[in-house]
Amino acid sequence: MPYSVFIDGAAGTTGLEIADRLGAREEFDLVRLPEDQRKDVHARREAINDSDFVILCLPDEAAKQAVSLIENDHTRVIDASSAHRTAADWVYGFAEFRDGQRERIAGARFVSNPGCYPTGFLGLVAPLVARGLLPADWPYTVNAVSGYSGGGKALIERFEQEADIGFRSYGLTLEHKHMPEMKRHAGLAHDVIFAPSVVRAYRGMIVEVPLNLAAMGGGAKAGDLLEALKLHYNGSAIVRPHEGNGISELLLNENDPATDRLDLFVFANESGDQVRLIAKLDNLGKGAAGSTVQDLNIMAGLDETLGLRL
């Protein structure tokens, strides 16, 4: 018998992507509300409590409200908002970034899906900090560009109406909802300096962490970082580390196809003590819908790659 799944916020960008991945799956039966009941709290409460799994694709406050509507002890939740990403009683839904995390997700009732930018940052940095190759007390900088679909319907509309705008830098107050998530789950002592931007490509994302290993004083070289990432992600069909030698540029194309992979690159100077760690991913794939489906598969005891685009 298939698991029942209700996507609360199914009409949004992420919700539509998740429904597209689950629509043909025999293991899941999507619970759908009529359009006129999509925001009706009573209809939502009934759907939430009648479902085996609930996926929240909502603004933060609405996601918190949805959790408060649960009146049973069995409905399991995956929250794709940022409302619970640093909450102590929620399991962080990034299966690969930390040893044992997949098992925690499998047994969890409440899972908070990672943000798109933090997926790139944590995929690169968290295993290296955990293994002592990078210091936890370093002031890390994150430079990132994303396709405009990451901003939801409002930003999509702005980009489609303002054809002369190709690049938007934001977060200029040095505050962003992803910063606490990156600091907590990488185990860092300081907030990161986060410099996000949006470019004229519908989907896709490049996240970069520049490192001066010589200044850090730990003795690690670029090759050490690459080998550690390869060891950590060994056997993963989703996360793939790459050596940067021979790659002259990384491209974010306007028509890049959808993917649920996370590709990690280590670029370095000749001595190996100046490094650019770079993650490339789909902000709607591993950065949102893809990782949600992966977490759902894990929680349901299925092959975690089912329904993914790899």
Q: What is the pLDDT along the chain (310 residues), one digit of tens a residue?
A: 899 999 999 999 999 999 999 988 999 999 999 999 999 999 999 999 999 999 999 999 999 999 999 999 999 999 999 999 999 999 999 999 999 999 999 999 999 999 999 999 999 999 999 999 999 999 999 999 998 887 767 777 777 778 777 888 888 888 888 899 999 999 999 999 999 999 888 899 999 999 999 999 989 999 999 999 999 999 999 999 999 988 999 988 877 888 999 999 999 999 999 999 999 999 999 999 999 999 999 999 999 999 999 9
pLDDT at 200: 86
176 alpha-carbon distance from chain centroid: 15
Both tokens of 263, joined, read 């590709």
> For 178, what's the count of Cα atoms within 13 Å in the CB-facing half-sphere?
23
Q: What is the pLDDT of residue 177?
A: 83
Q: Give backbone dihedrals phi and psi of 270, rounded to 5 degrees, phi first.
A: -60, -35
The predicted model scores a pTM of 0.95
Domains of the chain and any CATH numbers: 3-114+288-299 (3.40.50.720), 116-286 (3.30.360.10)
Backbone angles phi, psi at 254, to 5 degrees: -60, -30
Q: Which residues are catalytic?
A: 116
Q: How far apart are CA 75 and CA 71, in angstroms?
A: 9
Give me the pLDDT at residue 256, please. 80
Spatial separation of the C-alpha atoms in residues 260 and 278, rounded to whole Å: 17
> In this predicted structure, what is the pLDDT of residue 162?
80
pLDDT at 165: 79
- DSSP H helical ranges for 35-151: 41-50, 60-68, 101-106, 116-130
